[in-house]
Amino acid sequence: MLYPMKLIAPLKDYIWGGTRLKEEYGKKTDLDKVSESWELACHKDGKSVIANGEAEGETLEDWLAQQGKSVLGTHVEKFPYFPLLIKLIDAKDNLSVQVHPDNDYAQRVEGEYGKTEMWYIVDCEPGASLLYGFKKKITKKEFESRIKDNTLLEVCNSVPVHKGDVFFIDSGTLHAIGKGILICEIQQNSNTTYRIYDYGRVGKDGKPRELHVKKALDVTKLEPPKAHPTLACDVDIFAGAKARLLASCEYFTTYHLTVDGKAALMCGDDSFQSFTVLDGGLEVKDAAGTKVKFKKGETCFLPAGIGRYKLEGKAEIILSKL
């Protein structure tokens, strides 16, 4: 039976995280801080668990293995793996300056796929900023020299952020989420990150956190980021919902939806859908009459082919598909 699934997210407590995901987004945990909540995850480092219905208690990964690829949709056929990883990220402090490799390099060196991703700024403190590529094109020699003498930040492109901003991070783009920012991240299903600069911090073991300079030198694009043409445009394809297309690429298509009352949507045979509630709450009702309620901080997985479904309530959501 196919039905709307509520997912329980694995949580991460990296040193830069805060407490907002616990205090405001309902993440139940004994961890002191929650840096990341992996809202949709079928990865060896974290797996979503189904919280409702006949599959309650199973990992989403195990359920998908039992059902077969049809529940992921026809678009998944080009991927030899579950393609998406969706996170909520609470940066109380700056994240490391880092980069992700492309598919070719990551498969050859790390044994998994690369990472292209997008960020939606859910909330941020006044004056918050992030690093996004370089101010100008630099040489590999200058890049390496600035890493060694701790002047890398002088050539990084610092961008002020506001709630609702969108950033598309191609693999190979240097980046760093700044302190005081809460983000919804949609990405390829990969956990490969190369740290370049980490502000001299030490990890839980009291030792400086590992840097991956040699690999970063191999994969980093030494130029300002290129504008992505499909970022943040209004669309009228969801009846009853105000929608904005945030990003569309070969790995994912993501929308921001505002529901105030009732909305009618469709999950066809082409792709599964997943949405995370950023604010408010709503009820999902599928064509078979199954109803599931979702509140702020909760995520729904809709199998491909579930057909028409309705949303009712007052909420802000991020919806992704292939």
d(CA 82, CA 295): 26
The answer to whether residues 260 and 151 belong to one domain is: no
The answer to whether residues 243 and 192 belong to one domain is: no
The answer to whether residues 160 and 269 belong to one domain is: no
The answer to whether residues 142 and 259 belong to one domain is: no
d(CA 100, CA 190): 9
Q: Is residue 174 in some structural domain? A: yes
Region 130-147 average pLDDT: 97
pLDDT of residue 202: 87
Q: Is residue 228 in some structural domain? A: no
The answer to whether residues 206 and 258 belong to one domain is: no
Question: Which residues fall within 8 angstroms of residue 68, CB to CB, at 6 or more apart?
Answer: none
Which tens digits make up the pLDDT trace of 57-116? Answer: 999 999 999 999 999 999 999 999 999 999 999 999 999 999 999 999 999 999 999 999
d(CA 130, CA 150): 18
pLDDT of residue 22: 98
Domain finish residue from 219, 252, 286: 219
Q: Is residue 39 in some structural domain? A: yes
Exposed/middle/buried for residue 60 (C-beta within 10 Å: 0-12, 13-18, 19+): buried
pLDDT of residue 203: 85
Q: Is residue 225 in some structural domain? A: no
The answer to whether residues 207 and 111 belong to one domain is: yes
The answer to whether residues 237 and 299 belong to one domain is: yes
pLDDT of residue 230: 55
Enclosing domain of residue 287: 233-321
The answer to whether residues 244 and 153 belong to one domain is: no
Which CATH number belongs to the domain containing residue 204 in this structure?
A: 2.60.120.10
Q: Is residue 224 in some structural domain? A: no
Domain finish residue from 188, 219, 250: 219
The answer to whether residues 239 and 204 belong to one domain is: no
Question: Pick from 39, 33, 31, 35: which is nearest to 8 by CA?
Answer: 39
The answer to whether residues 184 and 88 belong to one domain is: yes
pLDDT of residue 237: 80
d(CA 56, CA 49): 8
| pLDDT band, very low/low/confident/very high, at 235 (cuts 50, 70, 90) | confident
Examine the residue annotation and report whether 108 is marked as an active-site residue of this protein.
no
Which tens digits make up the pLDDT trace of 275-311? Answer: 999 999 999 999 999 999 999 999 999 999 999 999 9
Candidate list 20, 108, 146, 195, residue with the active-site label: 195
3-class SS of residue 162: coil
Q: Is residue 227 in some structural domain? A: no
| pLDDT band, very low/low/confident/very high, at 151 (cuts 50, 70, 90) | very high
| The two structure tokens encoding residue 195 | 């740290």
| pLDDT band, very low/low/confident/very high, at 231 (cuts 50, 70, 90) | low
Which tens digits make up the pLDDT trace of 30-51? Answer: 999 999 999 999 999 999 999 9
The answer to whether residues 187 and 251 belong to one domain is: no
Average pLDDT, the chain: 96
Exposed/middle/buried for residue 32 (C-beta within 10 Å: 0-12, 13-18, 19+): exposed
The answer to whether residues 199 and 293 belong to one domain is: no
φ, ψ for residue 78, nearest 5 deg? -80, -5
d(CA 298, CA 48): 12
Region 172-193 average pLDDT: 98
Domain count along the chain: 2
Which tens digits make up the pLDDT trace of 190-209? Answer: 999 999 999 989 888 888 99
Q: Is residue 98 in some structural domain? A: yes
